[in-house]
Amino acid sequence: QSTLSLNAISRTKTLLNFISGEAREGEIKAVLGMRGFSKSTLIDTLANHIMWENLQGSITLNSEKLEGYLLKMTSDYIM
**Can you tell me the distance from the alpha carbon of 60 to that of 65, in angstroms, rounded to the nearest whole number?**
4
Q: In what order do the strands lie in the sheet with 2-9?
A: 14-23, 2-9, 59-61, 64-66
Q: Residue 27 has what pLDDT?
A: 83
Whether 53 maps to a domain, the answer reads yes
Residues 6/59, Cβ–Cβ less than 8 Å: yes
Is 48 contained in some domain? yes
Mean pLDDT confidence for 7-20: 68
Number of domains in the chain: 1
In a domain, 27, yes or no: yes
pLDDT in tens, 66-77: 777 777 777 777
**What is the domain extent for residue 44?**
2-74
Is residue 79, in this structure, part of any structural domain at all? Answer: no
Q: What is the pLDDT of residues 14-53, one digit of tens each?
A: 767 777 777 788 888 888 888 987 788 888 877 777 766 6
In a domain, 55, yes or no: yes
pTM for the model stands at 0.60
pLDDT at residue 1, rounded to an integer = 46
